[in-house]
Amino acid sequence: MIFSLAGRNLWQQPRRLAWWFWKSSPVVAALLLVSAAAAPSQTTLTGIANYKIDVRLDPGAHSTDAEEILSWHNTSGTAVDRLLFHLYPNAFKSNNTTFMREGGREISPAARGWIDIIKFVDLRTNQNLTENIRYIQPDDGNLHDSTIIMVQLKRPVRARDSVSVSIDFQERLPQAVSRSGWAPGREFYFVSQWFPKIGVLENGAWNCHQFHAFTEFFSDFGTYDVNITVPANYIVGACGELTGEPQKSNGTVTYEYVAHDVHDFAWTASPDFLSETRTFSYEGLPETKVVLLLQPEHSGLADRYFAAVDTAIKYFGFWYGPYPYPVITVVDPPRTAHVGGMEYPTLITAGTEDYTLKDFLSPEVVTIHEFGHQYWYAMVANNEFEEAWLDEGLNSYSTGKVLEKAYGPNTSVFRIADVYPVYLYPLASFQGLPIAPIIGKVWIHEPYNRLPLYLDYDKTDPISKYGCMAFDRGSYRTIAYNKPELVLRTLEGVLGPDMMGDVLRTYFEEYKFRHPTAADFERVCERVSGKDLGWFFDQFIDGTGTVDFGVKSIDYYRETDLSSGASTYVTTVVVTRNGEIKMPVDLRLSLDDGSAVDTVWDGQSSWRSFSFRTSVPPDYAVLDRSGKIPIDMDYADNSLRVHSLLSPVFKWVGKILNYFQNVLMTVGMLA
Amino acid sequence: MNIGAPKALWKGAGRVIRNWRLWCLFYFLNLLFAAVLALPFASVFAKDISRSLAGSDLLAGFNYRWYVEFIHANDANGAYFESLVPQIVVLLGVYVLMEVFLAGGFFSVFAEGGRGKVSRFFSECASKFFPILTITIGEIVLLFALYKGDAFWARANLAAAGEALTDAQVLHAELWRYGAVIAAFMIVNLFSDFAKAAVAIDDDTLAHKIWRGLAFAMRHPFASSGTYLGAAIVSAAVIALYYFVESGMHPLTAEGIVLQIAAGQIFILLRIYSKLIFYAGEAALYRENQIEVINVKREMLE
């Protein structure tokens, strides 16, 4: 059944009604929310944290000031006497914050950003609790970090009860850093992680991490109603839908955006945007309004962006479930903004370069990936601090599948120009721009673009390690993106593509608008497939073992039946497990006439010998011929021929020789 | 009578052909050094793919998965490739010295115009080695200073300004910057070439010869730069032609592979030929026009 925020589904009506009431009476709304939460169909976690924010942008000062009213519902069975809030902008306050230290970054005084709470009032009692605010550092005790506050309430929030608080705050926006702030040289603002945001109460305890350098966010679902006031010439984009007419006053304009069933809210403003809106329409899927906010210098890429969004809505919709929100906004940031490639509910930032060749699918890859986060992050909202791989990994896997389906197997290219001219002279790039001509390209098939980083960090951290505690940025990217995509492709090899599709569809259906964990995902995998996959998750998710199967030797001899004269070839193939991970792997013996004999090795022992009796001599033995285990670390040793094939050796040795001859000629120009 | 750049290049091209044995000598030396450099890479490469199906993939084209794993296995794990770096650097250094050694012989033989004797070629190589090495070291120091100065300037100016520019503006600024740097490199190289020609052809003290070469390039700006750029265009055309041809070659059979390897070697022969045109063209230009100047001066003195 299609779930849609456009009111096409009845079960959602109580919450929409609650929202309408809450706008006029938070108390009545809270009661309705409680009753709605008790309904049988309400297995989701929507309507827990609802925000009403009025924010004004002062471009001259790179600052905002705002008033926030938060209505928070205590879904736990125990009373809560303190509230915890994220103050993410304080990560950019000094060089000593946890975010800066972990990332090894430095931020100049002029580029810094921060947030100040001016006033904090409990609206139940109208008590000013500003004096009760304390900074806490639950993750690392870094006293220079002020990204979390704890507010001691004078009256606890009882179990299943709600509280409304009013927070006045001012923010100095940072020079664009970590997907937030203002862009140097341009009138461009991207305002994200910008408001005091309540943590998540899980099993009676607060889950509220400091802002870390590598990981992202975690928060509860609710409704956001945000009035954004900017100079009159600014164009605004934001999460949710624009409602009502913009209100103009004294050279400013105020836009109201409302977003239901989301867990974050970001917005952007700039006078330079080229704004274009189209409607996605495809039989069997609900219509979606697609808003594109484009930089003037990227105007030629509009069609590519729209096509990428349409592709994503279509395949994610058919594979996992229809996109339920009425709108998706795509923001194309300027180069200096450093906010490209980020996801927020119903709003994504893309990213490209001026001279993006047709072959280079960078706008498409980023757009489809960030749209995919509407499923794996925005709706299926796992804790990104702790299990980032659940959204980044699943989304990388899904992105790769969509790219393959829509654009064919050649989804990215290896740019040779990026590799070696840079050692001779910095000709390759400047600030990410391709300066050097592209002198060669090699197509990369998904998911092998994930291999280089994985090979560098294969033993550093297990996927199950909290992303915010990863060894370094490379290790974080490995356990959040690269290894999970390779692991999920391997899981697809174990389950089969159709079953993998069923698993993900079920996982989405059961956990949309909820906070699943890796254990939930594993349970869905096992239940849907009917297989015990403990061995798989134990090794791949919780361990740092590697996969490397190889064919050690292939020998044969001929037996001749003296009576009939018929020959039989007896072939012995020895296979080895060079990595720690034990799993089944296909073994094929290919014969001289093109026929083959297939068997399966369980991969449990460190080696095994297989014997085959055939009427035709063997040609080669190969493990995992169909590439079901892309995480195998040595593709070359997966196969062994009976006789050497020297033509590729000559071909490439000739190329290597020629390469060095050219290097010598180039170096000789000095003489 | 003075000659211009086209005639110098034409004469140079002919003189290289007449001295085809020197051309072949250069080619074999290049091949020898390249073979020594390629051997360690080729051996691990052959070991990895000769009996693997990865070889079939590489015959048909390229396999990125194999490439990544091959590099990782030989670089990160065993650090084999890294261990080769000192040997590669030494070999490249020796190769440059060898070319410096040969340059004196090439200038001398090509300046004379006829078919040079091999014994004379090597005696000229030996006698001009240190003067030409001195000029080469001076050139390298100057190029390095230019390189560092440019990087410093870019950091100080362009990187800061770049934040305020659009992609297109940065690209244009960079293209101008690289254009300027390449032009500066070429000017240094051009003056250095004529200094070497003077050192190889004239009889005088080293300082006088260098000055005479530099003065010649300044006195004949169009002819000298025309000869230099003409030879550079021939080289660029050879490279462009090869990459155009090579990009269309995807051999699967033994004959095709032999053809591809042969095409690669013909390309190197042409690169060497175009390099020798630099020497021969510049030597011809210097010889003809410098003699003219000397003759005029003599006549005036008489």
Selection from A243-247, A263-267, A449-453 with the highest mean pLDDT: A263-267
- Average the pLDDT over B95-109 and give the result: 95
Whether pLDDT at B198 is above 80: yes
C-alpha to C-alpha distances, A307 to A301, A313, A371, A406, A550, nearest whole angstrom = 10, 10, 12, 10, 43
Selection from A27-36, A177-186, A580-589, B198-207 with the highest mean pLDDT: A580-589
Cβ separation of B49 and A334 shorter than 8 Å?
A: no
**Residue A354 with chain B: CB contacts under 8 Å:** 166-168, 171
Cβ separation of B167 and A635 shorter than 8 Å?
A: no
Residue B171: which of A354, A646, A653 has the nearest Cβ? Answer: A354
Report the alpha-carbon distance of residue A15 to residue A260 in Å, rounded.
9
Position A229 scores a pLDDT of 98
Report the alpha-carbon distance of residue A317 to residue B92 in Å, rounded.
58
The band of B161, judged by pLDDT with boundaries at 50, 70 and 90, is low
A424 touches chain B (CB under 8 A): no
Fold agreement between A43-232 and A549-644 = yes
A635 touches chain B (CB under 8 A): yes
Residue A656: which of B30, B45, B164 has the nearest Cβ? Answer: B45
- Average the pLDDT over A352-364 and give the result: 72
Whether pLDDT at A439 is above 50: no
Alpha helices (H) along A328-387: 362-372
The residue among A100 and B80 whose pLDDT is bigger is A100
- Which chain B residue lies closest to A443 (C-alpha atoms)? B64
Nearest to A177 by CA among A244, A106, A230: A106
Residue linked to tokens 């943590």: A199
Domain A549-644 has CATH 1.10.10.1110: no
- Average the pLDDT over B190-200 and give the result: 91
Where are chain A's structural domains?
A: 1-34, 43-232, 549-644
Whether pLDDT at A353 is above 80: no
Nearest chain B Cα distance for residue A336, angstroms: 6
Nearest chain B Cα distance for residue A295, angstroms: 10
Cβ separation of B168 and A297 shorter than 8 Å?
A: yes
**Which of B163, B182, B243 has the most A C-beta neighbours within 10 Å, making it the best mutation to test the interface with A?**
B163
Chain A and chain B share a number of CB contacts under 8 A equal to 203
Position A17 scores a pLDDT of 41
Q: Which of A81-95, A350-364, A451-465, B215-229 has the lowest mean pLDDT?
A: A350-364
Average pLDDT, rounded, for chain B: 87
Each residue's pLDDT tens digit, A158-193: 999 999 999 999 999 999 888 899 998 889 999 999
Whether pLDDT at A558 is above 50: yes
Q: Which CATH number fits domain A43-232: 2.40.50, 2.60.40, 3.40.50, 1.10.10?
A: 2.60.40
**Residue B252 with chain A: CB contacts under 8 Å:** 647
The band of A570, judged by pLDDT with boundaries at 50, 70 and 90, is very high
3-state secondary structure A561-591: CCCCCCEEEEEEEEEEECCCCCCCEEEEEEE
Position A271 scores a pLDDT of 97
Position A670 scores a pLDDT of 82
- Average the pLDDT over B10-22 and give the result: 95
The residue among A468 and A430 whose pLDDT is bigger is A468
Position A123 scores a pLDDT of 97
Residue B69: which of A633, A649, A669 has the nearest Cβ? Answer: A633
Each residue's pLDDT tens digit, A486-530: 999 999 999 999 999 999 999 999 999 999 999 999 999 999 999
Report the alpha-carbon distance of residue A512 to residue A381 in Å, rounded.
7
A336 touches chain B (CB under 8 A): yes
Q: What angle in degrees, to the nearest 10, is found between the helix axes of A483-495 and A518-529?
A: 20
Position A430 scores a pLDDT of 38
Position B114 scores a pLDDT of 86
Cβ separation of A451 and B65 shorter than 8 Å?
A: yes
CA A143 to chain centre: 30
- Which chain B residue lies closest to A353 (C-alpha atoms)? B167
Q: Which of A116-130, A389-403, A467-481, B57-71 has the lowest mean pLDDT?
A: B57-71
Tell me the ipTM for this assembly. 0.92
Touching B: A residues 431-460, CB under 8 Å = 431, 433, 435, 439, 442-445, 448-449, 451-452, 455-456
- A489 token code pair: 């492709």
Whether pLDDT at A337 is above 70: yes
Whether pLDDT at B292 is above 60: no
- Average the pLDDT over A263-281 and give the result: 97
- Average the pLDDT over A23-28 and give the result: 46
Whats the size of chain B, residue-wise?
A: 302
A653 touches chain B (CB under 8 A): yes
What is the percent of chain A with per-residue pLDDT over 70, rounded to a whole number? 87
Each residue's pLDDT tens digit, A33-69: 444 443 334 456 789 999 999 999 999 999 999 999 9
Each residue's pLDDT tens digit, A90-145: 999 999 999 999 999 999 999 999 999 999 999 999 999 999 999 999 999 999 99
The band of B72, judged by pLDDT with boundaries at 50, 70 and 90, is confident
Cβ separation of B55 and A648 shorter than 8 Å?
A: yes
Cβ separation of A664 and B30 shorter than 8 Å?
A: yes
